Amino acid sequence: MPAKGGSASGGKIKRKFAVLAALILAFFFAGSARADYWTRYNSTNSDLPANSWVSDITKDSRGAKWIYGNANNSNFLYTFDGSNWDDFSSNMFDYGGAYWSIQDMYANDVGEVWFVMNNLSLVKYDGGSWTSYFYNNSSATSLAEQLYPGQTVSNPCIYFYSVFGNPASSSVYSVIFISGMVDGENISSNFKLVKRDSSGNWSIAVTNESGSPITSGNSFALFGSVNPVNGDVWFSLSNSSGAGIYRYNGSWTRYTTSNGLISNSVSDSYIDASGNVWLATDRGVSKFDGTSWVSWTTDNSELATNIVTSVEGDADGKIWFVSTYNSDTTPPVEGGTSVYNPADGTWIYYSIRNSDDTFSYAYSVWVLDDEMWATVSTGTGVLALTKNDDYTTIYGQVNGQTVEKAVYSELKKKNKTKSRKVNIWKVSRVQKKNKKWKTVRRKVYHTKTSDWYKVINLETGTYLIKVQGKRSRTVTISSGDPYRLNF
């Protein structure tokens, strides 16, 4: 089962299932978007095995990415700090057995990384040592005793179903099942939300169970997050298309279309640093500011489609929405990633036009501070976007027309009667031995039949662009913003 993950930088609710998202969108850039510098990590340039399918990524407080996935029917867990790869797969074998898998993964801001394993144990890594809370071992027994202070706890057994946290307090939460005896009373069949504070003390986080979604039937389906501003706990359910979302702040409130949501089918959630709750649904996006709800659709925003499967936030406060194919439109819209800036209400896009071609096959996206990581359905590793003003993208159309939200076939079609050759050269000045300066051209792009062109990961500078049958253009790009030039 794919895991879900999170980092201390936001209250992201990850999905335990991977939704195939064809991330294809027409061009449009506004504001001060920085360049897209794309790197693909696979078996040729990293320690990732061949045929890697990445299920989950999270970033710890030391800056290392924890990358979990499967290759050739074997699960793996690696860390990557930007230079070095380390394999932690054997550690997972120690705690999950020969057929180990990770159901949930979370990193807090005090150097801890937490895992819920396939055997429903909870495992913690603090950067140097490992701790396992498993069934009725000493750690699990100590946890149970802390949940019932001043009472006699006998024969406790605990199973763990999820792990998430509050980035503001470094606390960690988990949905558990606990059985045993407390002061002679049988507490079997008890599902609880428990909390571990920054000092390592465990307690029961939810004392009012009236209206709670934390039940036996929902145990594997609960996706939780904590509002960093007020400590409210939020849950959505993966096993229900009509549950809406639940909030706990001393009592339970369920939000549906009857009291603010745009749809009862919530696929993902993110809570930003200001405490705003952002929801991805099958009919658009909803935001809760603590008092009221506001929603966006393709009718009042620049969302690619209304079928939004994922929502994330970055270090700049921008909100990322991933949309999937929508067959209800004419023509159908393939979907894409729309990035919204709440500060000024502007939108930017990452699409087939200004990103790696395989981005159109991405199915999961993680925003990790200044980077965006995506996994693609081709089993070819993981794709990373690093924002860097020293690099740029040049793209455009050779027919002079603007195509909004074009599908992949429209962008890539090859028609000999209409398509034209496109050539792009990097132009630079070099000083020869006789100290005279010479203009040098280096070809960076060439295609024989295309109605559009794109070259990514270019150094900023001066470029000569020539389209067959059109007048050549020379452009100087001094910033990392992707540069569009139509002919």
CA distance 443 to 454: 14
The pLDDT value recorded for residue 33 is 44
Sorting pLDDT into bands at 50, 70 and 90, what band is 19?
very low
Going along the chain from its start, the domains and CATH numbers come out as: 36-388 (2.130.10.10), 397-484 (no CATH)
> Do 456 and 355 touch, CB atoms closer than 8 A?
yes
pLDDT 10s digits, 290-303 = 999 999 998 998 88
Residue 452 has pLDDT above 90, yes or no: no
Model pTM above 0.95: no
Mean of pLDDT values over 104-129: 96
pLDDT 10s digits, 323-357 = 776 666 655 565 667 889 999 998 877 766 677 77
Q: Which residue has the higher pLDDT, 35 or 272?
A: 272
Mean of pLDDT values over 2-10: 43
The pLDDT value recorded for residue 335 is 61
Sorting pLDDT into bands at 50, 70 and 90, what band is 406?
very low
Q: Which residue has the higher pLDDT, 365 or 117?
A: 117
Kind and range of the H or E element at 55?
strand 52-59
> Do 344 and 472 touch, CB atoms closer than 8 A?
no
Cis, peptide link before residue 167, omega less than 30° from 0: no
Which of 126, 196, 125 lies closest to 158, judged by CA? 196
Residue 71 has pLDDT above 50, yes or no: yes
CA distance 54 to 68: 6
Kind and range of the H or E element at 412?
helix 408-412
Sorting pLDDT into bands at 50, 70 and 90, what band is 404?
very low
